[in-house]
Copies of this chain bind each other. A is one copy, B any other.
Amino acid sequence: MSEQTLVIATRNSGKLIELCELLSDLPFTLRDLNSFPLIESVEEAGETFAENASVKARAYAQQTQFITLADDSGLEVSALGGAPGVRSARYAGDGASDAQRTNKLLAELSRQSSGDRRARFVSAVAIANPAGLILSVSIGVCEGRIANAPRGQNGFGYDPVFIPNGYDKSFGELSAEVKNEISHRARALKGTLNFLRSLTAASGDG
């Protein structure tokens, strides 16, 4: 009868829409951080996506006292030695727009002579309980390449300049339906869906 609450630890509405779609078949009542006005933000200062996702999941689960799912994700560009990587969201400084970040990325890449445009999106999804215990961490990767210019308006972040392998359209052009089949975030969540289902089963009548 009763659904469990799952807090989605994000204030990025593009990420919120995507996670909401990916989790729509699970019996959770979803809440995002904006519904907790007094919550304190945590710094994402870790060296890996898994570390940052875990820090966020733990801190917000402890503050909200609900099971919390956090995603930390970014773009690793081969010719830039894996940059922007875990600094993807701050690549053009705090407060920069998605367009400023993608433009900086395209400019940096244009200075490389190799012509190597390979890149991958990486997502780490961590789940923590109200005691701050990390219950699950899973990683998803989507390999692709960087487009010559931003294309399309779907998605968020670096989506307009990322073309996944096997496609000739960017994540900004591909539909949510396609992105949610192949994306790094979808793949990370696949490793966690069965675990999330077990949480809802365990909280039933017992």
Q: Judge whether A24 and B20 touch: CB under 8 Å.
A: yes
A107 to chain B, nearest CB (A): 20
Q: Judge whether B156 and A3 touch: CB under 8 Å.
A: no
A8-33: CB near B (< 8 Å → 1, else 0) gives 00010110110011001001111110
A17-B16, A20-B20, A21-B20 as given contacts; A177 in contact with B35, CB under 8 Å: no
User: How many interface residues does chain A have, given as a range?
Assistant: 20 to 34
A155-191: CB near B (< 8 Å → 1, else 0) gives 0100000000000000000011110000000000000
A24 neighbours in B (Cβ, 8 Å): 20-21, 24
Question: For chain A, what secondary structure do more than half of its interface residues adopt (helix, strand, loop), or is it mixed?
Answer: mixed
User: Of the candidates B3, B97, B99, which one forms a contact with A176 in the assembled complex, judged by CB atoms under 8 Å apart?
Assistant: B3
Q: Judge whether B29 and A154 touch: CB under 8 Å.
A: yes
Q: Judge whether B3 and A17 touch: CB under 8 Å.
A: no
- A153 at the binding interface (Cβ < 8 Å): yes
A24-B20, A24-B21, A24-B24 as given contacts; A32 in contact with B13, CB under 8 Å: yes
A130-145: CB near B (< 8 Å → 1, else 0) gives 0000000000000000
